[in-house]
Amino acid sequence: MNAQVRQDHPRERAHDIVLFGATGFVGALTAEYLAAHAPAGCRWALAGRDLGKLERLRERLAAIDPACAALPLLRADASDASAVRELASSTRVLATTVGPYVWYGAELVAACAAAGTDYVDLTGEPEFVDRMYVEHDARARETGARIVHACGFDSIPADLGAYFTVGRLPEGVPLRVDGFMRSNALFSGGTLASALTALGRGPQTLAAARARRLHEPPLLGRRARGPVGAPRFSRETGAWALPLPTLDPRIVARSAAALERYGPDFRYRHYASVKHLPVAVGGAAAVGATAALAQLPAARRWLMDRWEPGRGPDAERRARSWFTVRFVGEGGGRRVLTEVSGGDPGYGETAKMLAESALCLAYDALPGAAGQLTTATAMGDALIGRLQKAGIAFRVADAR
């Protein structure tokens, strides 16, 4: 398939997509996915701090597609505002895997908002998302930039899964959707570093959320909520449901606030689904202990040192990994069960989600929105279609 540049995109630039942080664990997987699946004529480039590492990655990619031997390599440090501005101005879409984003992401968002460049990342950090809204949403709306956070396992399955479910429920009525996540996957050092950073910044996270509430226009005549649910046994899934204190419910609630299709009163809750009660109790205790340790800088550093960023499960372990998110949606006298499922969520599928999000922004006909958006509001059906073709399943399991 030949690449077709969207007519409403920014003026002609040197690149269609730049992948920043390409030599990290998920960054390299994303680069490999683009090497195998980017359409003919896609002008993409690798970016990062270390040209030597970028050159070695490019050699590996050339084994997938010989054309990758000519991929441009762009050197930039996330903390170098001048280099980051030049990077953002060179491309139509910038995808970044460099976290924790609260440390390494702000300059990139600022540069993309100013340059009218579309931006996608993998953050699961509420503080970062709220800060970027307060600081850059207005500018991005002026320039036409689409700033889309959480384009990996945080939070595409939840956001697009809820969107998919709502589309199968009646319009104009209060809607309730619950998501139940199951997986057997492992995590990487980069994922752990981001999670521990977020857990250890409770006061900053609360302050960022308060600042966002002061800047966001009120939602008049409608409600959209993503509360933390209570632990319970779910008859719908036949398993114990443990509330997940992740970014996902906030992302879903923001999609619901932006789209009237979610109805006048929408609520979403997000759970881990655990078959056996002792495992559920142990998992809850482990999460609580990790959150407590994250408050202590020395303990946080010790945990991060145990799993250094840039490392993750090997290909054999990733091949055995899977995820399923079951959604139960109700409203207007109708009840529907849907499911989003795929392979290794934190790495293989996250790389796929990020790459397809970047390609979707670059090439698909999309709504004309700008500013800080969610995957549902920015890409919706177009991204679901891409992910289905890429092997991530969206299906209706039951409806009545």
The three-class DSSP label of residue 269 is strand
248 and 145 both lie in a single domain: no
Asked if residue 165 belongs to a domain, the reply is: yes
How confident is the model at residue 194, as a pLDDT?
A: 60
Q: Which residue has the tokens 């700008």?
A: 370
Q: Which uninterrupted H or E stretch holds 323? A: strand 323-331
The CA-atom distances, in angstroms, between 323 and each of 40, 275, 318, 395 are 31, 14, 11, 14
CA distance 65 to 208: 44
Q: Which residue has the tokens 């630039």?
A: 13
CA distance 327 to 89: 40
| Contact by Cβ (8 Å): 173, 182 | no
Bin 368: left if φ > 0, else alpha if -120 < ψ < 50, else beta.
Answer: alpha
Number of other residues whose CB lies within 10 A of the CB of residue 190 = 25
CATH number at residue 145: 3.40.50.720
187 and 72 both lie in a single domain: no
Give, for all 400 residues of the chain, the pLDDT tens digit.
445 544 455 558 999 999 999 999 999 999 999 999 999 999 999 999 999 999 999 999 999 999 999 999 999 999 999 999 999 999 999 999 998 899 999 999 999 999 999 999 999 999 999 999 999 999 999 999 999 999 999 899 999 999 999 999 999 999 999 999 998 866 555 555 666 666 677 889 999 999 999 999 999 999 999 998 888 888 888 888 998 888 999 999 999 999 999 999 999 999 999 875 545 455 554 555 555 545 556 554 555 555 555 567 777 778 888 999 999 999 999 999 999 999 988 789 999 999 999 999 999 999 999 999 999 999 999 999 999 999 999 999 987 7
357 and 373 both lie in a single domain: yes
CA distance 233 to 396: 22
How confident is the model at residue 123, as a pLDDT?
A: 93
Asked if residue 10 belongs to a domain, the reply is: no
Could you tell me which of 361, 366, 363, 371 has the C-alpha nearest to residue 144?
371
Strand-pairing partners, residue 65, are: none
Contacts for 156 with CB less than 8 Å, ≥ 6 apart: 150, 353, 357, 375, 383, 387
Asked if residue 4 belongs to a domain, the reply is: no
334 and 367 both lie in a single domain: no
How confident is the model at residue 291, as a pLDDT?
A: 52
Could you tell me which of 51, 6, 15 has the C-alpha nearest to residue 34?
15
61 and 77 both lie in a single domain: yes
Asked if residue 9 belongs to a domain, the reply is: no
Please give the model's pTM, rounded to 2 decimal places.
0.90
CATH number at residue 224: 3.30.360
| Contact by Cβ (8 Å): 255, 225 | no
Q: How many independent structural domains does the chain possess?
A: 2
47 and 110 both lie in a single domain: yes
Q: Which residue has the tokens 């990790």?
A: 290
42 and 59 both lie in a single domain: yes
Q: Which uninterrupted H or E stretch holds 324? A: strand 323-331
Number of other residues whose CB lies within 10 A of the CB of residue 398 = 11
299 and 371 both lie in a single domain: no
Asked if residue 197 belongs to a domain, the reply is: yes
127 and 170 both lie in a single domain: no
Asked if residue 7 belongs to a domain, the reply is: no
The CA-atom distances, in angstroms, between 233 and each of 177, 179, 225, 338, 339 are 16, 14, 22, 19, 19
CA distance 270 to 227: 9
Please give the structure tokens belonging to residue 52: 């030597």
275 and 354 both lie in a single domain: no
How confident is the model at residue 278, as a pLDDT?
A: 46
* Cis previous bond, 234, omega within 30: no
Q: Which domain holds residue 148?
A: 15-152+349-386
Helices (H), the chain: 25-37, 51-64, 81-89, 101-104, 106-115, 126-143, 156-166, 189-199, 202-215, 248-258, 277-294, 297-306, 315-319, 348-363, 375-378, 380-389
Asked if residue 268 belongs to a domain, the reply is: yes
Could you tell me which of 333, 323, 343 has the C-alpha nearest to residue 273?
323
